Amino acid sequence: MAEEGLVWEEFVEGRTFEAGTREVTQDDVESFAAVSGDRNPLHLDASYAEGTVFGRRVAHGVLGLAVATGLLNRRGLTRGTLVAFLGLTWDFVGPLYPGTEVGLRLEVRSRRGTSRPDRGLVVLGAELVAGSEVLQ
């Protein structure tokens, strides 16, 4: 069994975490297109994509978000301790190209207690990065 995640008291404002890396492949893009139904040629057709501002195929933005949630899950910060995921705000800053190794950086932005002393609400900031470049 996997190790338990952090309890809410351990999420101190300003604390940062790295959540590993993963390469986003063209196979990932094609699988995501099949699952989502988003078959935009920008993601799938190399000839089409060459004629765009990007000059090559680009992964779906939401695929980047999905990869970020997978990296967070693999990191295990909330494994066995998360009660609910309440919301999300996500910005798409730069293109995610197939073949890019991405990582997830996290920071505890805020936290507050609830009426139950063993629980609290934690707001995490997250960035999907390729090296030092923020993509999402």
Task: Report CA-CA distances (Å) from 60 to 42, 50, 64.
Answer: 9, 16, 7
pLDDT in tens, 22-44: 999 999 999 999 999 999 999 99
Domain membership flag for residue 51? no
pLDDT of residue 100: 98
pLDDT of residue 4: 80
Domain membership flag for residue 30? no
pLDDT of residue 1: 42
Domain membership flag for residue 49? no
The range of the structural domain enclosing residue 72 comes to 8-24+60-134
Domain membership flag for residue 74? yes
Domain membership flag for residue 126? yes
Query: How many domains does the structure of the chain reveal?
Result: 1
Q: With contact defined as beta carbons under 8 Å apart, do 57 and 129 qualify?
A: no
| Residue 86: CATH number of its domain | 3.10.129.10
pLDDT of residue 15: 96
pLDDT in tens, 41-96: 999 999 999 999 999 999 999 999 999 999 999 999 988 888 888 899 999 999 99
User: What integer is the mean pLDDT of 98-112?
Assistant: 96
Closest C-alpha to 20, from 56, 58, 67, 65 = 67
Domain membership flag for residue 50? no
Domain membership flag for residue 118? yes
Q: Per-residue pLDDT for 103 more than 80? A: yes
Domain membership flag for residue 33? no
User: Does the predicted TM-score (pTM) go above 0.85?
Assistant: yes
